[in-house]
Amino acid sequence: MTNFEFPKNFLWGTATAAHQVEGNNVNSDVWLIEHIPGTPYKEPSGDACDHYHRYRSDIALLAELGFNSYRFSIEWARIEPEEGEFSFAVLEHYRDMLRACHEHGLTPIVTFHHFTSPRWLMARGGWENADTPDRFARYCERATKHLGDLIGAACTINEANIAALIMRFGFMPPPEQLQQATWWLAASKAFGTAPEELSPFQYVVSPKAFETIMSAHRRAVEAIRGTGAKFPVGITLALQDIQPVVGGEAFAERMSKEINDVYLERLEGDDFVGVQSYSRARCDDRKFLPPDEGAERTQMGYEFYPEALEACIRHAIAVSGLPVYVTENGIGTADDTRRIEYIRRALNGVVNCLKNGLDIRGYTYWSAFDNFEWALGYRPTFGLIAVDRTTQQRTVKPSARYLGSIARANAIEQA
């Protein structure tokens, strides 16, 4: 056994997103969609983990476990509940969250947009409207002016490529079909927009959406820096380790370009890229393939394949030339021993990269808590900490102690 030491100042954390943990994010587009007739959501988010009220004890618990960082998102729908109306009280709430992080020695990594948007943005053309980048930048600027002195690092947008990815994997019908779904029609009516103009973040795949999202990112970086903020700023991407079977090389290359590279190539001037990886994606010459018969699957249905993280880090650095923060990596499983094994093998990949001199600044596990897994509701459990849905009681899992002790030592034992 040898001991591998991570670089000094390496950030060890866990991640959450406002909508998935705070509870009652009622002014967001997703909350409305959760409650629309025929909703694609298995259940509504409700109180979630009540993190909006319990953040102080939650943050204390993360620090006690050994982490030195916490990635969370601030909620645009709360901060700017109507266009141009900013809530001082909500900004103060997030300021207190940041303060709590510092009191406990956690470097806060703040995400400005993690899938949810204010309802009013949907009424104004959402993520396909050319004015959205400016609106997003205005919110980022306002929030940074209020919070910037306490932020450790910032991600503008979480998983800019999520919708492209979901559609390529066949989990979402093409736009023409989607726009005829009962829930889509009901949602457009409720938001006050035409069905063909409804553009929630997780559902937009057009070239216009790509341009809107990437220019929103660019404008946000400029706006954040324009406040004089000194912390590093980047975007996060759901990167895919695409592995072709024999004959699938050309398709794999095309998909990697569409899902990974068109985004990675647009990050010039950023301080880092946030790598998020969960599994690999295998393909033949035409399509993505399900896991082999007998392959171990996670609760999400995809393959247990922690080695994907190493491939994604290498690819992200090769294409973007930027330093990496691993902003998400994790597994939905009811068997915590498999979570420990997943983390062990994923970290092995991080160590391999560091040994090759690659610039990786931190590892963030998704997620701190079992939380609201979007359309799948509360069934998939990604957390290092379990949450009782009725009492909100937190229970630390062995995997939390495992990763927390690596974090505390800033080192890992290797066979």
Residues involved in catalysis: 159
- Pick from 11, 13, 14, 17: which binds ligand BGC (CB under 6 A)? 17
Q: How, if at all, do strands 385-387 and 394-396 pair?
A: antiparallel
| Cβ distance to ligand BGC smaller for residue 129 or 371 | 371
326 binds ligand BGC (CB under 6 A): no
CA–CA–CA angle 139, 145, 151 (5° rounding): 100
- Pick from 158, 199, 298, 381: which binds ligand BGC (CB under 6 A)? 158
238 binds ligand BGC (CB under 6 A): yes
In angstroms, what is the minimal distance from the CB of 327 to ligand BGC?
A: 8
In angstroms, what is the minimal distance from the CB of 17 to ligand BGC?
A: 5
The site string for ligand BGC over 293-322 (x = CB under 6 A, - otherwise) reads ------------------------------
217 contacts 264 by C-beta, under 8 angstroms: no
Q: Contacts with ligand BGC: how many residues (CB under 6 A)?
A: 10
| Cβ distance to ligand BGC smaller for residue 141 or 328 | 328
- Pick from 72, 136, 191, 366: which binds ligand BGC (CB under 6 A)? 366
CA dist., res. 250 & res. 284, Å (int): 9
For the chain, what's the residue count?
Answer: 415
In angstroms, what is the minimal distance from the CB of 252 to ligand BGC?
A: 21
242 binds ligand BGC (CB under 6 A): no
Site for ligand BGC in 257-276 (CB under 6 A): 276
| Cβ distance to ligand BGC smaller for residue 261 or 373 | 373
373 binds ligand BGC (CB under 6 A): yes
| Cβ distance to ligand BGC smaller for residue 115 or 184 | 115
58 contacts 368 by C-beta, under 8 angstroms: yes
**What's the CA dihedral at 148, 153, 154, 155 to 10 degrees?**
180
Beta carbons within 8 Å of 106's beta carbon, 6+ residues apart: 13, 59, 62, 63, 67, 68, 69, 70
In angstroms, what is the minimal distance from the CB of 172 to ligand BGC?
A: 14
159 binds ligand BGC (CB under 6 A): yes
Q: How, if at all, do strands 411-414 and 2-5 pair?
A: antiparallel
The site string for ligand BGC over 19-38 (x = CB under 6 A, - otherwise) reads -x------------------
Sign of the alpha-carbon dihedral angle for 63, 11, 369, 297: negative
165 contacts 259 by C-beta, under 8 angstroms: yes
| Cβ distance to ligand BGC smaller for residue 67 or 382 | 382
In angstroms, what is the minimal distance from the CB of 301 to ligand BGC?
A: 11
117 binds ligand BGC (CB under 6 A): no
141 binds ligand BGC (CB under 6 A): no
Beta carbons within 8 Å of 403's beta carbon, 6+ residues apart: 12, 65, 66, 343, 365, 384
In angstroms, what is the minimal distance from the CB of 236 to ligand BGC?
A: 7
In angstroms, what is the minimal distance from the CB of 366 to ligand BGC?
A: 5
Give the residues lining the site for ligand BGC (CB under 6 A). 17, 20, 158-159, 238, 276, 328, 366, 373, 382
